[in-house]
Amino acid sequence: TVAVVGSINMDVVARVPRIPGPGETLLASGSSRGGGGKGANQAVAAARAGGVPTAFIGAVGDDADGAQLRAWLEDDGIDVSGLSRDEAPSGVALIAVSDDAENSIIVVPGANQSLTALADAQRALVAGADVIAAQLEIPIDLVVAAAEARGEGALFVLNAAPSAPLLDAADRVLPLVDVLIVNEHELIDIAGVTDRDAAVDALSARVPALVVTLGAAGSLIAVGAERAIVPAFPVDPVDTTGAGDTFCGVLAARLGRGPLSLEALAAAAHAGAAAAAIAVPRVGAQAAVPTAAEVEELLA
């Protein structure tokens, strides 16, 4: 099983002719609401495209958005017994998408910031999981608590997105990480050097396994001194929102309990790339995540 510890938001998306400037009011041609937040997106990817029993650990508010977000996770068969209900309102992301595919996003974290320690039931879910996946849209104390609660032999996978919270917590967090997943920006930011190869060398010396996603160029994986490139599947992108989350959720699901070899990591990254390739020609984050059957078909 996979336990995802992370953020969950109500995404409110408005389609606008262009991104409004300061003081400007624009009419949108339409709006939609959907499940979002890196944590919830990765849980949906693990459960739906990864085809693995998945539990989500996070927090929503005691409000209508929270009830809807919980129901959407349940629709994907995700165990929500570790989704706590907080006094703060559910997290919301206000997203403007323009006709030329620019976007601007305001995130109101709300309940996502309130969970700083694991309750007993949440701790039990983490302790029983083969893989624990976390990101950095939640308090760093919760990330550390999740890593420390893992069972013997379980893998802790950290997607360091956004990278900022890790900058002054790297010494505390990185020693707990089995697999670190970053995109190119996060890699440079965390390593503190601008040369990509130097940054990979620096970071891979600090974690057993490193994955650097490179968009349409695939991903670079490093286990110890070994390196490999896992290519992406060529597709015409329509909406790359959530491509990284789909990749991470499926990679975590496919890793299983290890052991962590370059071959095992490459196979998991290959499945993640397949799922992301099916998602990028589709609109939306969670809505774009394929089923496990679709992923198997592309991998066959």
Element (H, E) at 38: helix 38-44
Question: What are the backbone angles phi and psi of residue 133, rounded to the nearest 5°?
Answer: -115, 130
273 binds ligand ADP (CB under 6 A): yes
Cβ atoms of residues 43 and 72 within 8 Å:
no
Binding-residue pattern over the window 183 to 202 for ligand ADP, x denoting contact by CB under 6 A: x-------------------
DSSP 45-63: IIIIIS-S-EEEEEEEESS
232 binds ligand ADP (CB under 6 A): yes
Q: How far is the CB of 13 from ligand ADP (least distance, A)?
A: 17
Q: Does 218 bind ligand ADP (CB under 6 A)?
A: yes
CA angle 218, 158, 220 (to 5 degrees): 20
The site map against ligand ADP for 57-86 (x = CB under 6 A) is ------------------------------
Per CB under 6 A, the segment of 8-16, 41-49, 79-87, 272-280 that binds ligand ADP is 272-280
- Binding status of residue 163 toward ligand ADP by CB under 6 A: no
DSSP structure string for 181-224 = EEEHHHHHHHHT-S-HHHHHHHHHTTSSEEEEE-GGG-EEEEET
φ, ψ dihedrals at 56, nearest 5° = -110, 130
Q: Which residues are annotated as a binding site?
A: 9-11, 37-41, 137, 183, 213-218, 239, 241, 244-245, 279, 282, 284
Please report whether residue 298 would count as binding ligand ADP according to CB under 6 A.
no
By the 8 A CB rule, do 92 and 110 touch?
yes
Distance CA 64, CA 43 (A): 21
Contact 247, 285 (CB under 8 A): no
- Which residues are known binding-site members for K(+)? 239, 241, 279, 282, 284
The closest alpha carbon to 59, from 77, 47, 73, belongs to: 73
245 is catalytic: yes
Of the ranges 6-14, 114-122, 129-137, 209-217, which one interacts with ligand ADP (CB under 6 A)? 209-217
Q: How far is the CB of 76 from ligand ADP (least distance, A)?
A: 20
For 170, the enclosing helix (H) or strand (E) is helix 170-173
| Binding segment toward ligand ADP, per CB under 6 A, in 79-87, 108-116, 131-139, 211-219 | 211-219
CB–CB of 111/60 below 8 Å?
yes
Which residue lies nearer to ligand ADP by CB, 139 or 233?
Answer: 233
Stretch that binds ligand ADP, among 64-72, 119-127, 133-141, 237-245 (CB under 6 A): 237-245
CA-based nearest residue to 37, from 72, 71, 6, 9: 9
Q: Which residues form the catalytic set? A: 245
Residues that bind ligand ADP (CB under 6 A): 183, 213-216, 218-219, 232-233, 235, 237, 240, 243-244, 247, 273, 276-277, 280
